[in-house]
Amino acid sequence: MTLAVAGSEAATTAAVGQPLSFDQAILFAEFEGDDGALSEMRWTAEYPHDQLIHRVPRLRMDRANAAKCAEVTAQLEADGIRVVASDGDFVSLHRLIDAAAAAGVRPELDPEAHAAACPGHAVYVKVFPWADEATITPVCTTQNAHQPLSSYGHGTDEYAVPTTGE
């Protein structure tokens, strides 16, 4: 471990700005090259009571979740499925329907039918901190081609009803 700390630019840079224990320096060396994590760690290390021991597990989990998300995204894209980023312009399919607000029955969009018929079909991938698996949500990037699930604010109180398959 001594060599890892001595060879780590992140650990030596952090130690110059504030006194670090050897254990804390090891943590900085672990995140060598991850500027976002190192920035959080430097900020956290400025506060007393060794808050790094609380921040680092979260950073490890974030790193593992990002790797899982990238793995699932790569597989989906290899299968020909378009994946959108979290800052994209899209709406989850569970918030859209194809029936007009005045229609008596307004069934939810079927993800498989939507994938086959709508050029805006895509998925959004997220790994939540408490989960080990990725959540894949079907979305639409051409939401104006559909109607909103709830017409709240559009003059009616009707909502979509799930279809029972009968």
The closest alpha carbon to 146, from 86, 105, 92, belongs to: 92
Separation CA 7–CA 161 (nearest Å): 61
16 vs 2, higher pLDDT: 16
Q: Which of 50, 80, 110 is the last residue of a domain?
A: 80
Which residues neighbour 12 within 8 Å (Cβ) at sequence distance 6 or greater? 5, 6
pLDDT level of residue 94 (50, 70, 90 thresholds): confident
pTM for the predicted model, two decimal places: 0.69
Task: Provide the 8-state DSSP code for 145.
Answer: G
pLDDT reported for residue 153:
42
Same domain for 163 and 89, yes or no, is: yes
pLDDT level of residue 156 (50, 70, 90 thresholds): very low
Domain assignment of residue 65, given as a range? 1-80
SS3 161: strand
pLDDT for 166 beyond 50: no
Domain total of the chain: 2
pLDDT reported for residue 74:
97
pLDDT level of residue 88 (50, 70, 90 thresholds): confident
Q: Which of 34, 60, 80 is the last residue of a domain?
A: 80
Residue 49 class from Cβ within 10 Å (0-12 exposed, 13-18 middle, 19+ buried)? exposed
Same domain for 75 and 86, yes or no, is: no
Same domain for 70 and 102, yes or no, is: no
Q: Which of 21, 52, 80 is the last residue of a domain?
A: 80
What's the mean pLDDT in 157-162?
Answer: 43
Same domain for 164 and 92, yes or no, is: yes
35 vs 158, higher pLDDT: 35
